[in-house]
Structure 1
C-alpha cells in the first residue's frame, strides 16, 4: 500500500514542496530551540537571586528537560516515517513555545521583587539602638510569603522544563530523517552539515540575548521609577528581567513552528534519476511491526550494545567530556560573577562572544582534520589524548588566577554561624534582622552585610540621583570617619577576567578538536545495521549519565563552598557569600577531574586498539564526518 500517495494528492503550496525550504525552516527552529536552552542557562543565577534558590535546585531545574526527552526519545525513534513528521515537529515546537511561557509565569504571578533597602518603610536596615536587643526574631509575613513562592514557583518552572523536553523530542530525529529521505543523492550530507553549522549560532545568540535583558530591571513592568533607579546591574541585590527573553524565545519558537504544518508528509525526491514526481513507497510488510514488537526487541538490542566494550568505553568517555560542558553552560556565568565581580549581563556576553564560538570553530576544524588526514581507528585515541591533555594543561593556571573572598565582618575570614549570620558586638543593640542583605563597604575596606550590621545610624542621598544613597555615616563598627558606601567592596581580581576567558576559550578550542574524531569512533564501533540504534542509545546514555546529573552535581559542589546563607524564617534562601578559593578549586577541579577520567578511558581504548585489528576507519568509509 502506498502510504504517501494520498497525502501528495492534496494541493500544497509549491513553496512547501521543496526540501531546501524545509532545511531552512528546520535550521531556524533548531537555532531558536538552542537559543532558548542557552538563554535559560544564562539567567540561572538571576533566577536563584529572585526566588532564593540554591545552586542544587537551579541546576536540577536546568537539567529537567532531559527527563521528558529521555522518556519519549525511544518511542519517537520507533515511529519514524510511520507518522506525518513535519506536523509532529510543528506540534513539538508549539509545545516548546508554551513551556517557555509557563517558565516565565512566576514573574507575573509573584509579588514585585523586594530587596533590603533603608529607603523602604517596611525594611529595618538602619541601626536603631535599643538596650538588650536580643531574643527570638519573629517570622515576618513577607519572609513567609517568600518561602511559599519559592516552593510553588520551583514546581512551576520544573513542569515547564519537563514539557520543553517532551516538545524537543521529535525535532532532530524527524527533521534529519525527513531531509535524508527526500534530499537528492549526495545532498543529504550537505544539508545536515548546514543544519549543524547553523545550529552553532543558537547558544551564542542565547547568551547574548541574556546579556541584553539582564541589564533591564526585573519589575520594569510593575515597579515605580524609584525602585528601578535605586539599584544598578553591579549591585549584589540587582535582578534583571530574566522573563523577558523567555517571551521573546516563545514567540520565536511559535513562529518557526508554523511552516511545518504546511509541508506534506512526503516530498518528491530531489533531483532523482527516476521519473519526476516519483513517490517513495514503503513495503507494507515493513509497517506491520508494532510497538510491542519493538519493545520486545529493545532489551536484547540494548544489552548487546552494553556488552560491546569499545562502544561503552567511548560513550563513557563522551559522558566525561559532556559533563564538563554541562558544568560550564550552567554555572560558568555564576563563577565569573563571584570570582571577578562581573555582572550577570557581562558574563553572558563574554560566554556568547568568546567561549562558544571558539568551541564551534574547534569542532569544525576537527572534522576537517578527519577528512584531510583520514585518521585511523587506532590513531584517533592518540590524537584525542594529546589534544585533551593540552587543554587540561591550559586549565592549570586558572587555579591560581583568582583571589580570596573580600573581608566581610563576622563572615569571612572567620565565622561561627554560617546560617544565622554575624553577631558583632558593636552592633549588638541595633536589632538587625537576620534576613537582612544590603551589603555596604566601610572606609576600612571591610564589607558588612547591611548598614545595620555596620552600626550605621544615618545616610546621605546622592545629589545626582534622588532615588539612590550616596553613603552611610555614624557607623559604630567602622573606625575613623565611620562612613560606608552602598554595595560590596571592590574585588581585587577584575584584571584576571579577560585572561581567564582567553585561557578557557583556548582550552575549549583545543578540546573540541577531538569531538568529531571521537564521534566517528562511536559510529565505527558498531555494525552498520545497528548504527541508528547505537546513536539512539548513545544519546540516551549521555542524557541519563551526563545532562541529568551533571548540573545538579556542579550545583552541589558550588553550594558546598557557601560560607553565609541568606535566610527567611530560619530556612536558606540562596547563598550570600562564597569562599572564593574553595569555589575556584572545587568548580575547576571537578571539570579537570572529568577531563582526566575521559583521557584515561581514551588511553585505555587506544591501548586496546593497538592490540586489535578488529576496527579500521579506512575499511568503513561510510557515514558522515
Structure 2
C-alpha cells in the first residue's frame, strides 16, 4: 500500500503548509489521525473471508460406518475410522474437494482408493478421485434410498469459496493506511517544536534509534509469533517442524489486525499525553499573558504618573 502512504504524507504536507499549526495543533492532529486509523481499522476485523471447511481441522469427518453425521472428535485430528488403515502422512497438504463440499487435506485423508485423470473439451486434464470412504452426502442426497449413488468422489484442489470480500478489504485497508500516514508529519513537527533549536538534530536521531529498537527490529519477531499461532497444519519431517502449510484465515485476520490496533492504541496513548501537556502549557501561557499590562493600562499609568509629577511640582513652587 505504498501509493496510499505516499498520498497520505503528501496531502498532509499540503494541509500543514496551508494551515500552519502550533504545538497544540500538531498534537491534536496526531490524536485525530491515530484515532481515525483505529476506528477504520476496526472495520477490517469484520471484513474478510472465513476458512473453508476442512475435514479434521475445522470440521469433523463424516464416516461411512457412522452414517452421515459428523463424528464427535477433538480438532485438529486428521485420523478417523474411515482412513485409519490408510497410514496417511499428516505433513503434506495436497487438498481435494469432496462431493460433500468439504476440503480434505490429501486424497488419502479422504479415504480415496481410485485415481483417474479426466480431460475436458480442450484437452486439459485434471485428477478425479473415486471410492472415497470418508466422503458422504449429507444435504441433497436421500441416503435412505438404496438406488441413490453416494457422492464418494473428490476433485483435485481445494473447494471453491464464494467469498468476494477482497475488493472491499483492499479499499478499507488503503483508507486505513492513508489515514495512518497523516500522523507522520505532525509527529516530526512536534519533535522539532518542543526541543531547543540546537538540540533538534539530536532529537531526530534519538527518535530514529527508538523507532528501530522498538519497532523495526522486534516487529518481525512478535508479528511472526502471532501469525504462527494461527497455523492449523505444520510441515513436519524427521521430527522437525517446518513451515506452516495452512492457516486459520479467520483467526489470522483477528490476530494480525488486532495486534496492529493494539499498537495503534499505545501510540494514541502517547499522543494523548502530549496533547494534554500541550493544552496545559497553552493555558499556562495564556494565563501569564493575561497578567501582563495592556496598552491601555500602560497609557493610564503614564497619565497618572504625569498627574503625580505635576502635583509634586506645584507643591514645590508654593
TM-score (normalizing by structure 2): 0.75
Highest Rg: 1 or 2?
A: 2
Q: CA deviation at 1:577?
A: 2.7
Q: Does structure 1 retain, via aligned residues, the 8 Å contact 2:116–2:127?
A: yes
| Aligned counterparts, 1:425-444, within 5 A | 425-444=81-100
Matches within 5 A, 1:201-280: none
- Contact residue 461 and residue 467 of structure 1 kept, 8 A: no
| Structure 1 residue 568 displacement after superposition | 1.0
Give distance in 2, aligned partners of 1:511 and 1:579: 27
Give the one of 333, 351, 372 matched to 2:18: 372
Number of the residue aligned with 1:391: 37
| Alignment match, 1:304 | none
Report the structure, 1 or 2, having the larger strand content: 2
**Residue 357 (str. 1) matches residue 3 (str. 2):** yes
Aligned-residue RMSD, C-alpha: 2.2
Q: Deviations over 1:246-269 (max 9, x none)?
A: xxxxxxxxxxxxxxxxxxxxxxxx
Aligned to 2:102: 446
Residue 280 of structure 2, aligned match among 611, 614, 623: 611
The separation in 1 between residues aligned to 2:252 and 2:173, in whole angstroms, is 17
1:478 and 2:146 correspond: no
Which string of whole-angstrom CA distances, capped at 9 and with x for unpartnered residues, describes residues 394-421 of structure 1? Answer: 1222211234322111111466475xx5
Work out whether residues 23 and 194 of structure 2, in 8 Å CA contact, stay in contact via their aligned partners in 1: no
Partner residue, 1:236:
none
What secondary structure is seen at the aligned counterpart in 2 of 1:590? helix
- Find the aligned partners of 2:103 and 2:10 in 1 and give their Cα distance: 47
Which piece of structure 1 moves more, 565-574 or 546-555? 565-574
Counterparts of 1:413 and 1:402, CA distance in 2: 20
Q: Of 221, 246, 269, which residue of structure 2 is paired with 1:577?
A: 246
Partners of 1:385 and 1:603 within 8 A in 2: yes
Q: Report the counterpart of residue 114 of structure 2 in structure 1.
A: 458
Q: 1:557 maps to which residue?
A: 226
The equivalent of 1:424 in structure 2 is 80
Residue from 467, 491, 502 that aligns with 2:171:
502
Question: Hey, what's the Cα distance between the residues in 2 that align with 1:381 and 1:581?
Answer: 36
Other structure's SS at 1:429 match:
helix
* Alignment map for 1:71-150 (pairs within 5 Å): none
Q: Deviations over 1:174-210 (max 9, x none)?
A: xxxxxxxxxxxxxxxxxxxxxxxxxxxxxxxxxxxxx
Q: Is the 8 A contact 1:388 1:595 kept in 2?
A: yes
Distance 2:51 2:278 in 1: 48
Alignment check: 8 A CA contact 1:367 1:517 kept: no
**Partner Cα separation in structure 1 for residue 187 and residue 251 of structure 2:** 33
Provide the rounded CA distance (Å) in 2 between the counterparts of 1:409 and 1:423.
Answer: 10
Give the whole-Å Cα distance in 1 for the aligned partners of 2:203 and 2:88: 61
Per-residue CA distance 1:150-173 (angstroms, 9 max, x = gap): xxxxxxxxxxxxxxxxxxxxxxxx
Task: Indicate if the aligned counterparts of 2:91 and 2:234 stay in contact, CA closer than 8 A.
Answer: no
Task: Work out the CA distance in 1 between the residues paired with 2:56 and 2:12.
Answer: 51
Quote the Cα distance in structure 2 between the aligned partners of 1:564 and 1:596.
32
State the partner residue of 1:21. none
How far apart in 2 are the matches of 1:389 and 1:435?
43
The size of the alignment, in residue pairs, is 258
1:453 is displaced (CA, Å) by 0.8
1:134-213 equivalences under 5 Å are none
Structure that is richer in helix per residue: 1
2:281 is paired with a residue of what secondary structure? coil
Q: What residue number does 1:544 align with?
A: 213
Shift of 1:466: 7.8
Can you list the C-alpha shifts for 1:443-465, whole angstroms capped at 9, x where unaligned?
Answer: 10111111111111222224268
Structure 1: 5+ residue runs without aligned partners? Answer: 1-354, 616-625
Q: Work out the CA distance in 2 between the residues paired with 1:522 and 1:468.
A: 63
SS of equivalent residue, structure 2 residue 86: coil
1:491 equivalenced with 2:155 (yes/no)? no
Shift of residue 468, structure 1, vs aligned partner:
5.1
Local SS of the residue matching 2:171: helix
TM-score, with length taken from structure 1: 0.39
